[in-house]
Amino acid sequence: MREKDLGADLHEVLITKDEIDSRLAELAGEIDARYEGQDLLIVGVLKGAVMVMADLARALATPVTMDWMAISSYGAGTQSSGVVRILKDLDTDIKDKHVLIVEDIIDSGLTLSWLLANLGSREPASLEIVTLLRKPDAAKVDIDVRWVGFDIPNEFVVGYGLDYAEKYRNLPFVGTLAPHVYGG
């Protein structure tokens, strides 16, 4: 899907495909340096992290295995509550493995903080996080995130895996939506 095809739905492109590609290449270099000589399991959180998993994994020189989790946050409306249910658990046992969680976006941080505690209790050899996007102004919990692609303003974004009502995930860039899309 190209920018022109978005028509009136798009308000603004925040991060272009080129910017995403070059930032992922930088992060991949740092991640390769961190895991040199080690086996790495990357864990993607469905569905939002699909694009960043696919592109980051291909930018890495480190041989990786990949696994996926699907979780849902309970909460009123669109706010994450931090109360999380596992919809799909990992296929693999992560005990004594080096695990890197790959996230699309950290907003309040509540979902990720739950995930860290959950995976941490399975006794991995190490547990780190890489996220493409982070909203520092929305943080409700302090999380030690080792690699961040971009810090962005506290606005609702779509594209590159991120949806609004399951749409826009296949945009190759990250952008904001026009108010009319939300019914405004």
Catalytic residues: 107
Q: Are 102 and 59 in contact (CB under 8 A)?
A: no
Report which of 63, 137, 84 is spatially closest to residue 106, judged by C-alpha positions: 137
- 107 lies in the binding site for Mg ion (CB under 5 A): no
In angstroms, give the least distance from the CB of 112 to Mg ion.
8
| CA 80-82-86 angle, 5° bins | 100
Nearer Cβ to ligand 5GP (19/163): 163
- 163 lies in the binding site for Mg ion (CB under 5 A): yes
Nearer Cβ to ligand 5GP (3/163): 163
Count CB atoms within 10 A of the CB of residue 37. 5
In angstroms, give the least distance from the CB of 11 to ligand 5GP.
13
Q: If contact means CB under 5 to 8 A according to the sort of partner, which of ligand 5GP, Mg ion, none does residue 156 touch?
A: ligand 5GP
Site residues (vs ligand 5GP, CB under 6 A): 48, 73, 80, 104-112, 156-158, 162-164
Nearer Cβ to ligand 5GP (73/126): 73
Q: Are 48 and 98 in contact (CB under 8 A)?
A: no
Q: Can you tell me whether residue 98 is helix, strand or coil?
A: strand
* Cα separation, 20 vs 22, whole angstroms: 6
Across 91-103, b (16+ Cβ under 10 Å) vs e yields eeebeebbbbbbb
Q: If contact means CB under 5 to 8 A according to the sort of partner, which of Mg ion, ligand 5GP, none does residue 128 touch?
A: none
Candidates 55, 104, 107, 128: give the one binding Mg ion (CB under 5 A): 104
Q: Which residues bind Mg ion (CB under 5 A)?
A: 45, 48, 103-104, 163
